[in-house]
């Protein structure tokens, strides 16, 4: 088999090859782009704001401290380093200063007692003035704080609150709300404040009160002396770091310790990109397989001729595999280039849209090129594996037959695989009632994957059967061109099945995501209404809502009961087969006396009655993972690094407000470094007016405890808004996959229509007008797209039912956004119709009215 | 020499050609059915025939008589439902892939009605392709002999799209002859050609038998083409019903008309 023959053959069939190359290139482009995005997210911020002027930044390394075997260390848990560690670092030769950055929540209040909010800056922190050198913050006016009750604020706060040097302001912290004198205004090198965060600076004495040394330090900045050998100093620091389980961050890595929200978002984005890449990769394999398979189908006659001349089946397979490898390599190289540009553009767009932090920047991973090229080759080989085997079994006698080679519609392997997948989907539906909401979400995706891929495998058979059925029922009632279109569907079922499969897959997932978001909203609403017996919901309006607020609210006329909750991150350290593992625990500390009266959640074991100091209620998933049951003992490390032992008293089916474990306030509060109330659930006395109680609580909050107070309906509306806000990630995934699949479907339709030149020519010969041929093509594409869309949408809706079952136990929460889903189906139909119609028009211009079958 | 006046080579006559020489191809009780049950079609019905080496046999019959099916089974392109197909001492009907294909490309040449050249390759590349697939070196002298004999030495670097129908069929003939197969099957080789070109192609095929000792089996519906053959077999309903030796065109035509009547 000569390479020159292969290349000549490919050049001769460049139209056929182009379709496969487009699909391959797009797939590689998307995969490489998501690979780069994921890699970039994993590199950390790459930008340092807070510690830009620190020569190094140190913090506890969980890997070293715990001896955890893997790199999956808990993010939420903030490890604290001791004073001794700080002193050891300061003693290193060449170190001028080690500055512990003991940051605490603090917020400036306006004259009405409301927090001064700076647009786009969600966090507000306080720290010692000596930490200003790490950024550095420079004084623009006034002087540094030296006494208690003195504060320097950043320019953003000053401008937002119209605050000047010499003014008195209320500053809310966890400890108290006190009056401070503004002695200075400062700003970082670029801008009025750090990104997404406003800062204020206090004297050492004040900080000692508000964030005592005894609480430990999370991050420390290190300043070197002038004119030292930096590498030698770093070596000294690393020696200390090894002894004290620290990690040393230099250069861009210092941004990992930054407190700005962006650093944390990167981890979430990395997961999003991983899902995006995996999902698109899955769609890509399917689409490339379809496109390659279709391209090989178009060559049936040519392959039969090759067999007649003397190609053995093995030689046919090798030729096809070699061709696929060439396409895989070419597509891979082009895809890498396009993907790089795409990733860069994607970051820019996401940042402009406010969906990605400024800290996300593109890092080019050179080794990723090899990964993607190898993947591209592997995918192309996988894609042609089955098609190549089928092609090698084409009988040479087909080359001798006039007319189109008859396509076998029912492929046994496809039928078996498709049937098995559909059966798997049905089985998943059957087990849906027995899982919790997270399990239900997973199952819904599994149902969609199995259902859509299974139907796609069976698509040629279904198209054949559907067309036969339609021909039987409707052919006499429709016009001639539609009648021909229905019969063409049956005759060309194998080809139509390729395009239909892609539509089913894409619409299935698009519908699932749309219904998922809508059902989640509906389910959350229903469950919240049912589960929460509170009349009023109180959340912090500022950075801090101190525990003292509970008594303030409890004392208000009309208030019957108040149940406060504190969210925190605990740490579980355990051993599994000799390896230390650590996981952070999303915990919530609740009031055991009142929680059970206000929140009604289904228990799998135990009940609220057992919750008391020394006990914990866990989710079923956590219990299963940890091997816990009612009565089990569990040791958890608190944020101040002390361990508490609790006993499991109950297992709930679903998380309560995202918490995996519910502890008592009595057990947890003493160990929280910077406790702030997450929310208070309030019930009113019989006969009391909810609106009046709300007003009273808001008024009480004006005295230095800013509180956002809403009734139940507004609370639920807020939940919905939050869910909608987060829906963009799912829409992004489905949008990316839909765009890719859409291009691939267009590709297939165009290729399929283009090859019908002779058929169009013969129809013209027997008297068809061009208009009638186009009507026929349009009818075919509409029938195909509508049917496939309907099936895909049905699978998506069915899968979303599982989500409803997981949320509320039955399908009552299932919400189908009819307009949105209808638009999806309409777009799919329109796109397919336009692709087929445009291709047919172009082909009709090319073909002559002749039946000559000589060389083209 | 004109069609109808060809005589078999003297050696063939002296040896008692038909029946005496070991057949190049033999069909023994070969049947071929399509479909099942009531709708089954019997394209060949227990046919037994020998095609002696070095002879030219034409197969004729009305439409649907099974002549194309016979040639496809004999050439190993299709598997009979029952019976045996022997290529010399090789039982073709029992071979499986890839051995069947290897035997075909080494020992059987095929000339199609629709020329069936690979459009991406030049005439030269089309001709040598079966040899290359078999990893056999091309005998350059024989290549030049064949191409000169069929009259295409001046167009070897052109692609099929640049050749006339006659030239394409000549290329196909050269492709079939170059491997020196035991037998060449031709399915309506002149079906797509005009009268003059058809005649020159038939002369070539006749010459391949006379000069190269090639065994040739040809399906045709053209009495003029059949007249170039040593023997004409008449098929009806998958069975041999008549046989003519060295007939002329008018004899063939009248016999055929009788069968179709």
Delimit the domains of chain B by residue range.
Answer: 39-260
**Bigger pLDDT: B27 or A49?**
B27
Contact present, A727 and A517 (Cβ < 8 Å): yes
Residues of B in contact with A314 (CB under 8 A): 98
Average pLDDT of the segment spanning A419-446: 85
- pLDDT at residue number B1: 32
Mutate to test the interface with A, among B109, B112, B113, B133 (most CBs of A within 10 A): B133
Q: Residue B134 and residue A310: Cβ atoms within 8 Å?
A: yes
Average pLDDT of the segment spanning A657-663: 88
**Is the ipTM above a cut-off of 0.85?**
no
> Least CB-CB distance to A305: which of B116, B161, B168?
B116
- pLDDT at residue number A496: 78
Q: Residue A8 and residue B120: Cβ atoms within 8 Å?
A: yes
Numbered residues of chain B with Cβ closer than 8 Å to any chain A Cβ:
68, 72, 77-78, 97-98, 101-102, 104-105, 110, 112-114, 116-121, 125, 129-130, 132-134, 160-161, 165, 168, 175, 187
Q: To 5 degrees, how large is the angle CA A754–CA A755–CA A759?
A: 105
Please state, in angstroms and rounded to a whole number, the distance separating the CA atoms of residues A573 and B110: 77
CB pairs under 8 A between A and B: 74
Average pLDDT of the segment spanning A669-691: 90
Q: Indicate whether A19 pLDDT > 90.
A: no
> Least CB-CB distance to B77: which of A12, A314, A396?
A396
Q: Indicate whether B63 pLDDT > 70.
A: yes
> Least CB-CB distance to B72: which of A313, A400, A855?
A400
Range scoring the smallest mean pLDDT among A165-174, A410-419, A707-716, B5-14: B5-14
> Least CB-CB distance to A399: which of B101, B116, B120?
B116
- pLDDT at residue number A602: 85
Among B187, B189, B240, smallest CA distance to B29 is for B240
Q: Residue A9 and residue B118: Cβ atoms within 8 Å?
A: yes
**Bigger pLDDT: A262 or A773?**
A773
Is this prediction's pTM over 0.90? no
> Least CB-CB distance to A308: which of B77, B113, B132?
B77
Q: Residue B77 and residue A395: Cβ atoms within 8 Å?
A: yes
Residue A307, chain B, CB below 8 Å: the answer is yes
SS3 A563: strand
Q: Indicate whether B126 pLDDT > 80.
A: yes
**Bigger pLDDT: A612 or A271?**
A612
> Nearest CA to CA, how far is A15 from chain B (Å)?
14
CATH classification code of B39-260: 3.40.50.300
Residues of B in contact with A854 (CB under 8 A): 165
Residue A315, chain B, CB below 8 Å: the answer is yes
Q: Residue B132 and residue A308: Cβ atoms within 8 Å?
A: no
> Nearest CA to CA, how far is B98 from chain A (Å)?
5
Range scoring the smallest mean pLDDT among A67-81, A88-102, A223-237: A67-81
Q: And the tokens for A340?
A: 């790089």
Please state, in angstroms and rounded to a whole number, the distance separating the CA atoms of residues A383 and B197: 46
Q: Indicate whether A439 pLDDT > 50.
A: yes
> Please, which pLDDT band fits residue B7 given cuts at 50, 70 and 90?
very low
SS3 A493: helix
A620-637 pLDDT tens trace: 888 988 889 999 999 999
Residue A6, chain B, CB below 8 Å: the answer is no
Contact present, B58 and B243 (Cβ < 8 Å): no
- pLDDT at residue number A42: 78
SS3 A222: strand
- pLDDT at residue number B120: 75
> Please, which pLDDT band fits residue A74 given cuts at 50, 70 and 90?
low
Q: And the tokens for A809?
A: 């136990």
- pLDDT at residue number B227: 93
User: By CA distance, what is A397's nearest residue in B?
Assistant: B77
Q: Residue B104 and residue A310: Cβ atoms within 8 Å?
A: yes
A761-790 pLDDT tens trace: 777 766 777 888 888 899 888 988 999 999
Place of tokens 């030296």: A146
> Least CB-CB distance to B133: which of A305, A311, A396?
A311
Residues of A in contact with B175 (CB under 8 A): 309
- pLDDT at residue number B5: 35
- pLDDT at residue number A405: 46
SS (H, E, C) A249-314: ECHHHHHHHCCCHHHHHHHHHHHHHHHHHHHHHHHHHHHHHHHHHHHHHHCHHHHHHHHHHCCCHH
Residues of B in contact with A395 (CB under 8 A): 77-78
- pLDDT at residue number B257: 87
Contact present, A541 and A706 (Cβ < 8 Å): yes
Q: Which helix (H) or strand (E) holds A203?
A: none
Average pLDDT of the segment spanning A350-355: 82
> Nearest CA to CA, how far is A765 from chain B (Å)?
21
- pLDDT at residue number A853: 40
Q: Indicate whether A854 pLDDT > 50.
A: no
> Nearest CA to CA, how far is A841 from chain B (Å)?
26
Contact present, A225 and A95 (Cβ < 8 Å): yes
> Least CB-CB distance to A855: which of B104, B133, B160?
B160
> Please, which pLDDT band fits residue A650 given cuts at 50, 70 and 90?
very high
Question: Cβ of A12: how many Cβ atoms within 10 Å?
Answer: 18
Mutate to test the interface with A, among B97, B120, B158, B171 (most CBs of A within 10 A): B120
Secondary structure E strands in A577-706 = 579-590, 603-606, 615-619, 633-637, 643-652, 661-664, 679-684
Percent of chain A with pLDDT over 90: 35
Residues 394-423 of A with CB under 8 A from B: 395-397, 399-400
> Least CB-CB distance to B101: which of A1, A5, A312?
A312
> Least CB-CB distance to A314: which of B98, B113, B114?
B98
> Nearest CA to CA, how far is A292 from chain B (Å)?
20
Please state, in angstroms and rounded to a whole number, the distance separating the CA atoms of residues A741 and A758: 29
- pLDDT at residue number A617: 95
Among B174, B179, B190, smallest CA distance to B229 is for B190
CA A290 vs. chain centroid, Å, equals 28
Percent of chain A with pLDDT over 70: 94
Average pLDDT of the segment spanning B104-115: 85
Average pLDDT of the segment spanning A5-26: 83
- pLDDT at residue number A399: 67
Please state, in angstroms and rounded to a whole number, the distance separating the CA atoms of residues B85 and B101: 15
Q: Residue A399 and residue B161: Cβ atoms within 8 Å?
A: no
Range from A62-76, A351-365, A420-434, A749-763 that averages highest in pLDDT: A420-434
Q: Residue B119 and residue A396: Cβ atoms within 8 Å?
A: no
Residues of A in contact with B110 (CB under 8 A): 308
> Nearest CA to CA, how far is A414 from chain B (Å)?
23
Q: Which helix (H) or strand (E) holds A69?
A: none
Mutate to test the interface with B, among A306, A318, A854, A856 (most CBs of B within 10 A): A854
Q: And the tokens for A836?
A: 């087929």
- pLDDT at residue number A677: 92
User: How does the average pLDDT of chain B come out, rounded?
Assistant: 85
User: By CA distance, what is A6's nearest residue in B?
Assistant: B120
Q: Residue B121 and residue A8: Cβ atoms within 8 Å?
A: yes
- pLDDT at residue number A264: 63
Among A796, A802, A783, smallest CA distance to A824 is for A796
Q: And the tokens for B74?
A: 């004999």
> Nearest CA to CA, how far is B174 from chain A (Å)?
13
User: By CA distance, what is A853's nearest residue in B?
Assistant: B114
Q: Indicate whether B83 pLDDT > 80.
A: yes
A183-216 pLDDT tens trace: 999 999 878 888 888 999 999 999 988 887 777 7
What's the helix, strand, coil split of chain A in %, to 5? 60, 20, 25
Average pLDDT of the segment spanning A724-750: 77
Percent of chain B with pLDDT over 70: 91
Residues of A in contact with B197 (CB under 8 A): none
Q: Indicate whether B8 pLDDT > 70.
A: no
Q: Indicate whether A404 pLDDT > 60.
A: no
Mutate to test the interface with B, among A2, A305, A312 (most CBs of B within 10 A): A312
Q: Residue A395 and residue B102: Cβ atoms within 8 Å?
A: no
> Please, which pLDDT band fits residue A407 given cuts at 50, 70 and 90?
low
> Least CB-CB distance to A9: which of B114, B120, B132?
B120
Q: Indicate whether B10 pLDDT > 50.
A: no
CA A247 vs. chain centroid, Å, equals 29
């Amino acid at each position: 088999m000569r390479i020159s023959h292969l290349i000549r053959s490919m050049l001769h069939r460049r139209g056929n090859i182009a379709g496969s190359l487009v699909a391959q290139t797009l797939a590689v482009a998307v995969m490489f782009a998501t690979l780069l995005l994921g890699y970039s997210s994993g590199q950390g911020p790459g930008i340092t704001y807070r510690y830009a002027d620190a020569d190094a930044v140190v913090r506890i390394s969980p890997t070293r401290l715990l001896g955890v075997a893997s790199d999956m260390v808990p993010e939420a848990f903030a490890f604290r380093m001791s004073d001794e560690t700080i002193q050891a670092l300061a003693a290193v030769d060449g170190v001028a200063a080690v500055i512990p950055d003991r940051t605490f929540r603090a917020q400036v209040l306006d004259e009405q007692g409301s927090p001064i909010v700076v647009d786009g800056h969600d966090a507000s922190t306080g720290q010692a003035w000596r930490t200003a050198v790490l950024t550095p913050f420079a004084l623009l006016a006034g002087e540094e704080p030296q006494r208690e009750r003195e504060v320097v604020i950043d320019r953003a706060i000053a401008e937002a609150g119209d605050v000047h040097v010499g003014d008195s302001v209320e500053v809310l912290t966890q400890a108290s709300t006190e009056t401070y004198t503004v002695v200075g205004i400062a700003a970082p090198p670029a801008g009025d404040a750090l990104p997404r965060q406003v800062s204020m600076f206090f004297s050492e004495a004040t900080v000692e009160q508000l964030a005592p040394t005894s609480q430990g330090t999370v991050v420390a900045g290190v300043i070197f002396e002038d004119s030292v050998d930096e590498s030698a100093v770093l070596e000294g620091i690393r020696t200390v770091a090894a002894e004290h389980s620290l990690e040393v961050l230099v250069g861009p890595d210092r941004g990992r310790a930054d407190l700005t929200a962006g650093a944390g978002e990167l981890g979430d984005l990395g997961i999003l990109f991983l899902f995006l890449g995996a999902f698109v990769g899955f769609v890509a394999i399917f689409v490339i397989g379809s496109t390659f398979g279709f391209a090989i189908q178009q060559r049936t006659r040519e392959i039969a001729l090759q067999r007649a001349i003397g190609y053995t089946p093995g030689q046919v397979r090798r030729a096809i595999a070699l061709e696929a490898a060439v396409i895989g390599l070419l597509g891979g190289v082009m895809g890498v280039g396009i993907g790089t540009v795409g990733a860069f553009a994607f970051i820019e767009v996401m940042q402009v849209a406010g969906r990605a932090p400024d800290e996300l920047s593109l890092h080019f991973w050179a080794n990723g090129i090899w990964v993607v090229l190898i993947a591209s080759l592997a995918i192309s080989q996988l894609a042609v594996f089955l098609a190549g085997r089928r092609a090698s079994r084409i009988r040479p006698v087909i080359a001798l037959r006039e007319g189109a080679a008859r396509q076998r519609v029912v492929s046994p392997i496809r039928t078996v695989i498709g049937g098995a997948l559909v059966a798997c989907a049905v089985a998943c539906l059957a087990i849906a009632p027995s899982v919790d909401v997270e399990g239900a979400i997973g199952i819904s995706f599994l149902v969609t994957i199995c259902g859509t891929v299974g139907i796609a495998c069976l698509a040629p058979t279904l198209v054949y059967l559907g067309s036969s059925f339609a021909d039987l029922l409707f052919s006499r009632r429709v016009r001639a061109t539609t009648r021909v279109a229905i019969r063409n569907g049956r005759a060309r079922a194998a080809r139509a099945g390729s395009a239909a499969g892609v539509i089913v897959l894409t619409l299935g997932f698009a519908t699932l995501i749309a219904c998922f978001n809508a059902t989640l909203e509906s389910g959350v609403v229903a469950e919240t209404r049912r589960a929460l017996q509170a009349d009023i919901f109180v959340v912090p309006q500022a950075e801090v809502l101190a525990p003292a607020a509970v008594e303030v609210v409890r004392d208000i006329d009309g208030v019957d009961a108040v149940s406060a909750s504190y969210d925190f991150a605990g740490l579980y350290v355990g051993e599994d087969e000799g390896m230390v593992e650590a996981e952070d625990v999303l915990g919530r500390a609740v009031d055991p006396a009142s929680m059970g009266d206000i929140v009604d959640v289904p228990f799998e074991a135990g009940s609220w009655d057992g919750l008391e100091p020394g006990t914990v209620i866990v989710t079923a998933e956590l219990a299963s993972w940890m091997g816990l049951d009612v009565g089990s003992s569990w040791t958890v490390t608190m944020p101040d690094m002390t361990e508490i032992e609790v006993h499991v008293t109950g297992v709930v089916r679903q998380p309560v407000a995202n918490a995996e474990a519910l502890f008592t306030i009595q057990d947890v509060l003493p160990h929280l470094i910077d406790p702030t109330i997450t929310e208070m659930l309030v019930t009113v006395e019989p006969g009391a007016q909810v609106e009046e109680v709300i007003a009273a609580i808001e008024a009480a909050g004006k005295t230095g405890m800013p509180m956002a107070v809403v009734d139940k309906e507004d609370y639920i509306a807020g939940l919905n808004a939050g869910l909608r806000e987060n829906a963009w990630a799912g829409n992004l995934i489905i949008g990316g996959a839909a765009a890719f699949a859409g291009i691939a479907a267009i590709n297939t339709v165009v290729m399929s229509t283009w090859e019908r030149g002779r058929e169009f020519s013969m129809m013209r010969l027997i008297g068809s007008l061009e208009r009638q041929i186009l009507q026929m093509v349009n009818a075919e594409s509409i029938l195909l797209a509508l049917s496939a869309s309907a099936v895909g949408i049905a699978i998506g809706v069915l899968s979303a039912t599982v989500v409803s079952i997981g949320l509320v136990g039955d399908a009552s929460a299932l919400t189908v956004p009819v307009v949105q889903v209808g638009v999806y189906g309409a777009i799919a139909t329109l796109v397919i119709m336009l692709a087929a119609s445009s291709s047919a028009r172009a082909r009709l211009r090319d073909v002559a009215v002749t039946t000559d079958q000589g060389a083209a | 020499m004109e069609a109808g006046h060809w005589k078999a080579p003297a050696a063939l006559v002296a040896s008692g050609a038909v029946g005496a020489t070991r057949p190049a191809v033999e069909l023994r009780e070969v049947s071929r059915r399509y479909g099942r049950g009531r709708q089954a079609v019997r394209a060949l019905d227990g046919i037994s025939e020998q095609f002696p080496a070095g002879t030219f046999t034409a197969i004729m019959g009305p439409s649907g008589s099974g002549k194309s099916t016979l040639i496809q089974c004999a050439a190993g392109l299709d598997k009979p439902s029952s019976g045996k197909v022997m290529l010399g001492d090789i039982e073709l009907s029992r071979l499986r892939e890839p051995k069947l294909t290897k035997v075909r490309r080494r020992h059987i040449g095929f000339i199609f009605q629709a020329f069936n050249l690979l459009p991406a390759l030049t005439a030269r590349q089309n001709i040598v392709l079966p040899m290359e697939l078999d990893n056999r070196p091309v005998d350059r002298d024989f290549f030049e002999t064949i191409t000169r004999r069929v009259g295409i030495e001046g167009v070897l670097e052109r692609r099929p799209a640049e050749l006339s129908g006659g030239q394409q069929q000549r290329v196909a003939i050269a492709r079939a002859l170059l491997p020196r197969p035991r037998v060449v099957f031709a399915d309506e080789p002149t079906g797509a050609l005009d009268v003059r070109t058809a005649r020159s192609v038939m002369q070539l095929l006749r010459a391949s038998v006379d000069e190269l000792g090639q065994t040739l089996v040809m399906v045709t519906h053209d009495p003029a083409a059949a007249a170039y053959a040593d023997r004409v077999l008449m098929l009806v309903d998958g069975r041999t019903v008549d046989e003519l030796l060295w007939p002329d065109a008018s004899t063939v035509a009248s016999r055929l008309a009788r069968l179709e009547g």
